[in-house]
Amino acid sequence: MATWDESAKVLVERADADWEGIWTLTYAAGRATADLCVVVPMVDAVELTYAAMDLCEARQELEWVRPDLPARCPAVTVGPPDNLDAEVARDAISRLITAALARAEALLGCELDLADLACLTRTTTQLRSARRIVHGTAGRATTNRGRS
Amino acid sequence: MNATYGELLAAAADAVADANLAVGRRRFDSPMDAAQALVDFHGLLDALAGHTWVLLTPEQAAGIRASQGPHRVEVAAIAMAEAIGTLAGTGRPHPGMRTQPVTSWARAARCLRAAGDLLATHHTPGHGPRSPDADVLDDPDVRAGALSRLGLLTVTLLDAEDTLALRALQAGLHPATVRRALPGLDHVADLARTTAGLGATESAAPGGAAGAASNTAAGLARLDNLGLVTPPIRTDHPVAELADRYTRVRLHAWRLLETPDYSITTLRDLAVLGVATHAHTAALHGADLTDRGAPSRQLKPLLDRARAWQEQHHTLTGLITAGPGDAVVREDLIAITRILQTLAPIITTTTPGRGRTAPLDRPLVGALNGAVATMTDIAGWNSLTLDRLARSGHVHVPGRALTGEQVTDRPDLATARLTGHLAPAPDDTRSAVTKAYQTLRTHPFQPSPPAAESDASIDRTADANVIARAGYDR
C-alpha cells in the first residue's frame, strides 16, 4: 500500500489548478489531519484537531460559492493511518495544503467575481492557519490563528 | 455584573435583616419616614407573595388545590400568598414600587422582584423553556425548598411588625392608619412558619432517602447559580470570560434541539471544544500529554474523554450537510481555546520550566470543572440533534468514501460510490456517532453505564425528557 507521502505526491501532481483541484487537495488534507489526530499523543492531537477544523472550514468556504463541488470532485484520501510516522505524515499534509494554496493563488490570476475573490481570501486564511499548526507549533497553537 | 438567583435572594435576606435591625434600634426622624417604612414594608410583603407565584405557576397552583395528596409546603405557600394578597390589595403597580427604594425593605423587595424577573427570562410567555435550566423548578422537592426559603424570609420580615407599629405611633402617625396598615399579621406569620418549617422537615423525612435529599440540595444549588439566559460576556477577567462563553455555548447547543441549523459544522466545532476542554483540564492538573502510555489514574478519565471527543470529531469530519455553522459557537470556540492556551497551557517536553510548581488557581479549576460538566450536557443534546438531522435526510457522505460493505444491498449507495456523488449517511455511520455520544453524555468521573451495543440500549428515557423540555411535545 502506498504511503501518505507517495499518495500526497500523486494527488499534488494530478490535481488541476482550478476550484476542483483546490477542493480535492483540501479535502484530502482535512481527512489526513483528522486521521493523524487520533494516532498521535494528545499534546499534538489537540492542535492538529484545530488544524483539521480549519481545513474543514476552508473546504466549506469553497462549497459556499461552488455548492456542486462535493458532488463533482473526487473525494480522495491519502490512505489509512497505519504504521504512520508522524513527521512524515505532517510533511505529506503540509504538501497537500501548500499545493492547495498554490492553486488558490494561481486562480487569483483568472477573471473572478467579488464572491469568488472573497471565498479565495477566506480559504487561503484558513489553509495558512492550518499549515502553521501542521508545521509544528506544539504548545502554542489555538484555532484559526490566521484571523484577528 | 451578572447576578445569580441565589445572590439576589441573599441580598434580599441581608436587606430585611438590616431594616429589622434599624427599626428596632432607633425611632423614625419624621412621620414621613414612618409612612415610607410602612409603604415599603407592604411593598416587600407584596413582592414575597408575587415571588410565590413565580415559583408556582397558576397551573401548578390549580393542580395543587385539586390534588388529593398535595405537597404540604406548597399548600401552605399558596395560603400565605393569598393571605398577603388580601392584605396588600390588587392595585398594580404596588405603591411601594413607584419610588426609588429608600429603606432596606424596599431594596429587599427590588432584589426579590429582580430574582423573579431573572427566572422569567428562562421561559417563553407561554411558560415554554428558553434555556436548558428552565426545568429546575419542575422538581417538586426543589420547588418546596425554594418556597421554604421564601417562608423563612416572610417570618423574618413579620418579626418586625410590632416594632414597626410602635415606631410609627411614636413618629406621630394616626393610630387608625397604623392599625389599617398593620392589623396584626399573626395568621400570615403562622402560614409562613408552616411553609418554612415543613420544607425542612419534608425534604429530609420521606424514607430517609439520602439520595433524594442530595438531589434536592443539588437542585437548589442549580437554582441558586441561575443567571440571566443571555448574560453579556465579561471580558475584564479571563476566568469570568471563560465561564460566560461556556454558558453561551451550552445555551446554543441546547437551542439546536428546537431550532436546528442543519449543519454538521456546529457539532464538529463542539467536538473540538470537547477535545480542548478535557485536554487542557488534564494539563492544568499536571497531566503529561506527550506520553501515549498510561496516565495517572486520577487524570485518565479526562484524557480518555478528550480522546473520545477526538474520535467523534474524526467521524463527524467525514459527514457533509448543507447549512452553515453557528457563528456564535465558532466565535466562542476560538476565544475559549485562546484563553485555555494562556491559563492552562499544554506543557510539552520543550516548554521552558516544564512541570507545575505554582498552586492551582481555584476559580480556574472551578470554571474548568464546570466546563467538563457542560460538555457532558452538550454531548447528550448533540446526540439528539444529529439523530434528527440524519433521520430527516440532511446528513451526507461523499460517495467515494463509502466502503464495499456499506453499499452492499443498497443500490442508491452503490450508484453514489460509482459516480462519486453525495449519498445519505449510512446507518452504521449514524449509529456509530450516536453510540459515541451515549458514552460522552455521562460525566467522566461518574461510573459509566454498561457499554451500548445497539440502538435498543440507548437511554431513550433521558432523550424523551430532553425532547419534552425542548418543547417538541407541544
For B152-173, how does the pLDDT look when each residue is reduced to its tens digit (9 = 90+)?
A: 999 999 999 999 999 999 999 8
Among residues B172, B202, B224, which one ends one of the domains?
B224
Does A38 contact B at CB distance below 8 Å? yes
Percent of the residues in chain B that have a pLDDT greater than 70, as a whole number: 84
Does A81 contact B at CB distance below 8 Å? no
Rounded Cα distance, B32 and B171, in Å: 9
Same domain (yes/no): B262, B344: yes
Q: Would you say B467 and B257 are in contact if contact means Cβ atoms under 8 Å apart?
A: yes
Does A53 contact B at CB distance below 8 Å? yes
Query: In chain A, what residues touch B277 (CB-CB under 8 Å)?
Result: none
Q: Where is pLDDT greater, at B82 or B295?
A: B82
Q: Would you say B218 and B210 are in contact if contact means Cβ atoms under 8 Å apart?
A: no
pLDDT at B454: 46
Domains annotated on chain A, with CATH: 4-134 (1.20.1260)
Query: In chain B, what residues touch A49 (CB-CB under 8 Å)?
Result: 272, 275-276, 310, 313
Same domain (yes/no): B35, B147: yes
Query: In this complex, do A52 and B313 lie within 8 Å of one another by their Cβ atoms?
Result: yes
> Number of folded domains in chain B?
2
pTM of full prediction above 0.95 = no
pLDDT at A139: 44
Does A28 contact B at CB distance below 8 Å? no
Same domain (yes/no): B280, B154: no
Q: Is residue B230 part of a domain?
A: no
Q: What value of ipTM does the predicted structure carry?
A: 0.84
Q: Is residue B232 part of a domain?
A: no
Same domain (yes/no): B16, B154: yes
Same domain (yes/no): B175, B197: yes
pLDDT at A147: 42
Q: Is residue B17 part of a domain?
A: yes
Q: Is residue B295 part of a domain?
A: yes
CA distance A96 to chain B (A): 17
Same domain (yes/no): B309, B174: no
Instruction: Assign B124 to helix, strand or coil.
Output: coil
Q: Would you say A90 and A137 are in contact if contact means Cβ atoms under 8 Å apart?
A: no
Among residues B172, B193, B224, which one ends one of the domains?
B224
Asked whether the CA dihedral B238, B239, B240, B242 is positive or negative, the reply is positive
- In this model, does residue B350 exceed pLDDT 80? no
Same domain (yes/no): B220, B96: yes
The band of B450, judged by pLDDT with boundaries at 50, 70 and 90, is very low
What is the average pLDDT value for chain B, to the nearest integer? 83
Query: In chain A, what residues touch B320 (CB-CB under 8 Å)?
Result: 70
Same domain (yes/no): B210, B275: no
Range of the domain at B133: 5-224
Does B313 contact A at CB distance below 8 Å? yes
Which candidate from B320, B337, B351 shows the least CB-CB separation from A142? B337
Query: 10-residue block means of pLDDT along chain A (148 residues)?
Result: 86 91 94 92 90 93 87 82 86 95 90 86 93 71 45
Q: Where is pLDDT greater, at B229 or A48?
A: A48
pLDDT at B209: 56
Among residues B224, B249, B278, which one ends one of the domains?
B224
Nearest to B339 by CA among B270, B271, B281, B253: B281
**Helix ranges restricted to H, chain A:** 4-14, 19-37, 42-65, 69-72, 86-107, 114-134
CA distance B225 to chain A (A): 30
Same domain (yes/no): B211, B244: no
Q: Is residue B289 part of a domain?
A: yes
Rounded Cα distance, B439 and B452, in Å: 8
Q: Is residue B12 part of a domain?
A: yes
Same domain (yes/no): B72, B189: yes
Rounded Cα distance, A36 and B368, in Å: 27
Q: Is residue B231 part of a domain?
A: no
- In this model, does residue B367 exceed pLDDT 50? yes
Average pLDDT (B450-469) is 48
Does A79 contact B at CB distance below 8 Å? no
How many CB contacts within 8 angstroms connect chain A with chain B?
105
Does B187 contact A at CB distance below 8 Å? no
- In this model, does residue B421 exceed pLDDT 60? yes
Q: Is residue B84 part of a domain?
A: yes
- In this model, does residue B203 exceed pLDDT 80? no
Is the backbone of residue B19 left (phi > 0), alpha (psi -120 to 50) or beta?
Answer: alpha
Instruction: Assign B123 to helix, strand or coil.
Output: strand
Same domain (yes/no): B135, B250: no
Nearest to B330 by CA among B232, B387, B252, B259: B252
Q: Which residue of B has its CA nearest to A73?
A: B420
- In this model, does residue B383 exceed pLDDT 70? yes
Same domain (yes/no): B281, B395: yes
